[in-house]
């Protein structure tokens, strides 16, 4: 037999159920909304800042290289800055629209989404393959210096750039023909326009191909060549290179028969040679390792999360990423476009000097510079130490014309370099 419940009791229970929980503050929704807006505003600020840095830094490095004829050897660095500048003009603004919550109502047509994905694949592939070409160029610059001077011509550089562009275009065209399948949709929300948003069954195959061509192979090449470069740098840093060349250790009788000018030249050269030849002044093993950690580490930090994320999302068939993870890894990768001109351009003292000259020229100030010091940045010392050391004998040969030439043929051998065949 069911007991009846008084009407006033039911009213009290109903009222209690609809009353707000006294332990939860009434303004909790306002606080949460305010925190979300602050986070979205901070994210938009970071994205716009990275975009502006990429625009200014890449433009500055390109202007410095274009104005100085002796900087034409930085062809691949200029190409990298041009590619990153295209990313800052075309790709990063579209990334801001698709990532920021302030543009949540923006809708792309299927064609616009395909163009955005095409630019993603095309420009990312261009940038990474150019970084790979720079690392291979540095390998030959340090390990095979004579072969580099002979074979590294402007025609070869243009040929390598053309190969990079063709490979990037072919890979990006896959996203336009045969791969995209959006069903009967005529428009896509900008936030859902991504590499893994397609309904095509080929997206997992493309994700593997994209990861192998644009990340796995370049990573292996970069790690291999910089390991070889570090081996040469470390060996040169630990090797005791003589401060005085062999011609300076001639017999005292021969020295006494020399003229006063020759003896003065020898004394002056002997005093200045340790500054040019001492590997500790140019770089130590620790500086070389630090340079490599910065260069290789920056590449891994920017691109490893991006490729792992898209590969995992494509292979698992998931359409939506958890939280803001996709935006985070995407803009971590895009930050490479703003960081590259610093690592590959502005760390070089000659490029910095050209930028200072250009700034003073724009401000109508006289550009007066003294002779450049031999103590450059870590990167410059790391890349130019061996060539400076090997070219010292050529520099001092004019001061020792009274000595037999066969003593100079011995030269100063840089440990770790590959002997070149003389033809």
181-198 per-residue burial string, b: 16 or more CB within 10 A, e: under 16: ebeeeeebebbbbbbbbb
Nearest to 387 by CA among 136, 75, 64, 147: 147
Rounded Cα gap, residues 336 and 124, in angstroms: 10
Q: What is the mean pLDDT of the chain?
A: 73
| 53 vs 153: which has the higher pLDDT | 53
Nearest to 107 by CA among 193, 195, 200, 197: 193
Q: What are 156-210's pLDDT values in tens digits?
A: 999 999 999 999 999 999 888 766 666 677 788 888 888 877 767 778 888 899 9
User: In terms of pTM, does the model score above 0.85?
Assistant: no
Rounded Cα gap, residues 170 and 176, in angstroms: 10
- pLDDT bucket at 232, cuts 50 / 70 / 90: confident
Q: Give the other-Cβ count within 10 Å of 230's Cβ.
A: 20
Q: Please report the pLDDT score of residue 292 as a whole number.
A: 81
Q: Please report the pLDDT score of residue 417 as a whole number.
A: 53
Q: Please report the pLDDT score of residue 364 as a whole number.
A: 66
All domains of the chain in start order, with CATH: 35-240+286-362 (1.20.1070.10)
- pLDDT bucket at 271, cuts 50 / 70 / 90: very low
- pLDDT bucket at 7, cuts 50 / 70 / 90: very low
Name the least confident of 88-97, 178-187, 220-229, 248-257: 248-257
Rounded Cα gap, residues 51 and 98, in angstroms: 14
Q: What are 383-414's pLDDT values in tens digits?
A: 454 344 434 334 444 444 444 444 444 444 44
- DSSP E strands, 2-118: 107-109
Rounded Cα gap, residues 322 and 382, in angstroms: 42
| 366 vs 43: which has the higher pLDDT | 43
Rounded Cα gap, residues 107 and 251, in angstroms: 85
Q: Please report the pLDDT score of residue 193 as a whole number.
A: 85
Q: Please report the pLDDT score of residue 323 as a whole number.
A: 67
Phi/psi at 259 (5° precision): -75, 170
Full DSSP string of 26-48? TTHHHHHHHHHHHHHHHHHHHHH
| 220 vs 365: which has the higher pLDDT | 220
CA atoms within 13 A on the CB side of 132: 20
For the cut 50, the answer to whether the pLDDT of residue 121 exceeds it is yes
Q: Please report the pLDDT score of residue 181 as a whole number.
A: 67
| 90 vs 111: which has the higher pLDDT | 90
Q: Give the other-Cβ count within 10 Å of 253's Cβ.
A: 7
Q: Please report the pLDDT score of residue 201 as a whole number.
A: 74
Q: Please report the pLDDT score of residue 267 as a whole number.
A: 37
Q: What are 126-150's pLDDT values in tens digits?
A: 999 999 999 999 899 888 888 888 8
For the cut 70, the answer to whether the pLDDT of residue 67 exceeds it is yes
Coil vs helix vs strand at 243 = coil
First-to-last alpha carbon distance for the chain, in angstroms, is: 113
Token couple for 89: 């003009």
Q: What are 310-341's pLDDT values in tens digits?
A: 998 888 877 677 768 889 999 999 999 999 99
Beta-bridge mates of residue 108: 188
Q: Please report the pLDDT score of residue 391 as a whole number.
A: 41
Q: What are 197-226's pLDDT values in tens digits?
A: 776 777 888 889 999 999 999 999 999 999
Q: What are 101-115's pLDDT values in tens digits?
A: 888 889 998 888 889
Q: What are 47-64's pLDDT values in tens digits?
A: 999 999 999 999 999 988
Q: Which residue do the tokens 């009222």 mark?
A: 15
Rounded Cα gap, residues 292 and 299, in angstroms: 11
Token couple for 286: 């620790």
For the four alpha carbons of 92, 314, 110 and 164, in that order, the dihedral sign comes to positive
Coil vs helix vs strand at 295 = helix
């Amino acid at each position: 037999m069911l007991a009846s419940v008084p009407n006033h009791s039911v009213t009290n229970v109903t009222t209690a159920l609809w009353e707000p929980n006294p332990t939860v503050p009434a303004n909790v929704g306002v606080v949460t909304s305010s925190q979300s807006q602050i986070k979205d505003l901070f994210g938009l600020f970071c994205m716009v800042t990275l975009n502006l840095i990429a625009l200014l830094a890449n433009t500055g490095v390109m202007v410095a290289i274009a104005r100085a004829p002796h900087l034409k050897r930085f062809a691949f660095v200029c190409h990298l800055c041009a590619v990153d500048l295209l990313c800052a003009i075309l790709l990063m603004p579209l990334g801001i629209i698709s990532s920021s919550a302030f543009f949540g109502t923006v809708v792309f047509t299927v064609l616009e989404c395909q163009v955005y994905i095409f630019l993603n694949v095309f420009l990312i592939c261009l940038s990474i393959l150019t970084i790979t070409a720079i690392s291979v160029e540095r390998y030959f610059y340090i390990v095979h210096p004579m072969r580099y001077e002979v074979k590294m011509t402007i025609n070869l550089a243009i040929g390598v750039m053309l190969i990079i562009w063709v490979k990037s275009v072919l890979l990006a065209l896959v996203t336009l023909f045969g791969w995209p399948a959006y069903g009967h949709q005529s428009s896509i929300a900008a936030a859902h326009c991504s590499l893994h948003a397609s309904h095509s069954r080929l997206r997992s195959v493309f994700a593997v191909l994209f990861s192998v061509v644009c990340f796995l192979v370049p990573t292996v090449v970069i790690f291999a060549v910089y390991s070889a470069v570090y081996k040469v740098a470390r060996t040169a840093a630990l090797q005791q290179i003589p401060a005085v060349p062999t011609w300076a250790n001639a017999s005292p009788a021969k020295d006494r028969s020399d003229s006063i000018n020759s003896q003065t030249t020898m004394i002056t050269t002997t005093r200045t040679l340790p500054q040019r030849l001492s590997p500790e002044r140019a770089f130590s093993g620790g500086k070389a390792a630090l340079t490599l950690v910065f260069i290789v580490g920056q590449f891994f930090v920017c691109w490893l999360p991006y490729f792992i994320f898209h590969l995992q999302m494509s292979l698992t068939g998931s359409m939506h990423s958890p939280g803001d993870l996709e935006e985070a890894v995407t803009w971590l990768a895009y930050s490479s476009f703003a960081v590259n001109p610093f690592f590959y351009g502005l760390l070089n003292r000659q490029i910095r000097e050209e930028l200072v000259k250009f700034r003073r020229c724009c401000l109508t100030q006289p550009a007066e510079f003294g002779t450049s010091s031999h103590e450059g940045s870590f990167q410059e010392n790391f890349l130019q130490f061996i060539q400076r050391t090997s070219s010292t004998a050529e520099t001092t040969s004019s001061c020792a014309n009274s000595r037999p030439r066969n003593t100079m043929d011995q030269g100063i051998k840089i440990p770790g370099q590959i002997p070149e065949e003389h033809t």
